[in-house]
Amino acid sequence: MIRLIKSVHRAVKRRRHFRSGAVRLAQVLPSLAAVCGGPVSVRRGRGGGHDFVYFVEHDGLPAGVLRIANPAYVPEGTPTEARLNGPRLKLTPRERVAREWRLCEAGWRHALTPRPLWRSETGDALLNSYLAGSRLFDCVQAGRISFWDAIERAAERATLFHTLVGEAHMDLSLFNVYADEGMGVLTLIDFELSPNPALSAEEARLFDYLNLVEMAYKEMPVAERRAAPERLERLFAARVPRELHGLSVARLAPKLPRLLSDTAFRAALARHLTV
């Protein structure tokens, strides 16, 4: 019963959310039609983010993924101090779209990100290429890969992203990594958060690896949590670059409550970081 109530609540909240973006959606449809070569149809995206995300189709085929920045979430002009959230900085609508466009433009040629296809003149909406496949988290839930193996695969991709794109993701999780049908290609999505300006580049990169584990922790079966000492050792040995070992997690800690409150995880991290 509780699960049903929560499901109904989420559905109502979701309808209300998309209703508030309907006017702006209608305004951008003509531009999307011009980009896609004719009339398009849209359906709501699955994500639970703050912006309005839609799957766009043309002639019955996927044409891209549309993001319209929600102006009510961190309105333009909000002072930086009010947007700080531990190691992350919440971005205003145009900043979110600009960051996603910039990182996708840098990453798509390396198959690391979707390809950016269109951005509105007002800078509040963009269309990225459609990705066939599933979120890596869904692959875990379907039993196609274990949590720790998925974390390692995503961490390997993050290292390549850091090297070739030159920035940290800042919201890296198994939800924000897309896998193709054969799980041979992993694509990073959703770049709506930025590093706190106080962080060093190394701290921001380290946060990606730690947040990846933090966000998986909640859904991990007990058996996989028990494997943390061995698997975190392997993660740091094989995936986390040596120059990030020894860093302090002090400025990252506000967004790592599960890892740092679990004795086994904390002890495993302390072998490589200043905890």
In this structure, are residues 241 and 190 in contact, taking their beta carbons and an 8 Å threshold? no
Give pLDDT tens digits for 13-65: 666 777 889 999 999 999 999 999 999 999 998 766 799 999 999 999 999 99
The CATH code for residues 134-270 is 1.10.510
> What's the pLDDT score for residue 61?
96
Indicate the SS3 state at residue 110: helix
> What's the pLDDT score for residue 16?
77
> What's the pLDDT score for residue 262?
97
What is the band of 117 on the pLDDT scale with cuts at 50, 70, 90? Answer: very high
> What's the pLDDT score for residue 57?
98
Is the pLDDT assigned to residue 2 strictly greater than 70? no
Residue identified by tokens 């006017």 is 23
What lies within 8 Å, CB to CB, of 213 at 6+ separation is 151, 232, 235, 259, 265
Distance CA 207, CA 173 (A): 11
Give pLDDT tens digits for 225-244: 999 999 999 999 999 999 99
| Percentage of the residues of the chain whose pLDDT score is greater than 90 | 90
Is the pLDDT assigned to residue 6 strictly greater than 90? no
> What's the pLDDT score for residue 45?
86
> What's the pLDDT score for residue 234?
98
Residue environment code for 43-69, b if the CB has 16+ CB neighbours within 10 A, otherwise e = eebebebbbbbbbbbbeeeebbbbbbb
**Model pTM score:** 0.94
Q: Of the given ranges (4-8, 57-61, 207-211), which has the lowest mean pLDDT?
A: 4-8
What is the band of 70 on the pLDDT scale with cuts at 50, 70, 90? Answer: very high
Average confidence (pLDDT) over 2-23:
69
Distance CA 219, CA 215 (A): 8
Q: What does DSSP assign to residue 273?
A: S
Q: Report the Cα 70 to chain-centroid distance in Å.
A: 17
E-strand ranges in 69-150 read: 84-85, 88-90, 116-119, 125-128, 134-135
> What's the pLDDT score for residue 177?
98
Q: What does DSSP assign to residue 166?
A: -
Is the pLDDT assigned to residue 109 strictly greater than 70? yes
What is the band of 169 on the pLDDT scale with cuts at 50, 70, 90? Answer: very high
Half-sphere exposure in the Cβ direction for 162 (13 Å, CA) = 23
Average confidence (pLDDT) over 87-116:
98
Is the pLDDT assigned to residue 264 strictly greater than 70? yes
Q: Of the given ranges (14-28, 68-82, 87-101, 215-229), which has the lowest mean pLDDT?
A: 14-28
Residue ranges of the domains in the chain?
A: 17-128, 134-270
Is the pLDDT assigned to residue 202 strictly greater than 70? yes
What is the band of 1 on the pLDDT scale with cuts at 50, 70, 90? Answer: low
